[in-house]
């Protein structure tokens, strides 16, 4: 579990373009602690993991490896995008996934076209 926390902590921090020092400041801990967590040298306490999740906009379950996606990822999607993800998860083959992605891509392209503009 510690390795997964280390990986996900570093991933989310870098995704936000924060330094270890910036994350440490948000968590009210020392930068060296963040470095130790990210290399797997130390495991954060439960209350620290909860503060990390709050600061990074994810769930504790994501940080500890019980959820495949940070909560914010799905929360930011509109209903059609969430349905597409659900359909992809239900798909039985790569061909079905390709068809779903193509349909989604075509729908997005149509949505992005400006009214009155001919193609």
In the predicted model, is pLDDT for residue 23 greater than 60?
yes
Q: What is the pTM of this model?
A: 0.59
Report the distance separating Cα 12 and Cα 51, nearest Å.
14
Q: How far is CA 102 from CA 96, 97, 114, in A?
A: 10, 9, 20
Structure confidence at residue 46 (pLDDT):
92
In the predicted model, is pLDDT for residue 107 greater than 90?
no
In the predicted model, is pLDDT for residue 78 greater than 70?
no
Structure confidence at residue 49 (pLDDT):
94
Quickly state the pLDDT bin for 30 (edges 50, 70, 90).
very high
Write the CB contacts of 44 (distance below 8 Å, at least 6 apart in sequence): 5, 33, 37, 52
Domain boundaries, the chain: 2-74, 79-112
Architecture per CATH, 2-74: Orthogonal Bundle (1.10)
């Amino acid at each position: 579990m510690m390795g997964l926390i280390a990986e996900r902590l570093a991933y989310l921090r870098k995704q936000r373009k924060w330094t270890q020092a910036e994350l440490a400041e948000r968590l009210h801990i020392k930068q060296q602690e963040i470095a130790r967590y990210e290399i797997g040298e130390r495991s954060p306490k439960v209350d620290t993991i909860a503060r990390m999740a709050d600061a990074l906009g994810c769930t504790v379950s994501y940080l500890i490896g019980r959820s495949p996606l940070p909560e914010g990822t799905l929360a930011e999607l509109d209903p059609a995008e969430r349905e597409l993800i659900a359909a992809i998860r239900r798909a039985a083959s790569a061909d079905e996934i390709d068809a779903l992605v193509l349909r989604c891509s075509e729908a997005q392209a149509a949505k992005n076209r400006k009214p009155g503009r001919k193609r």
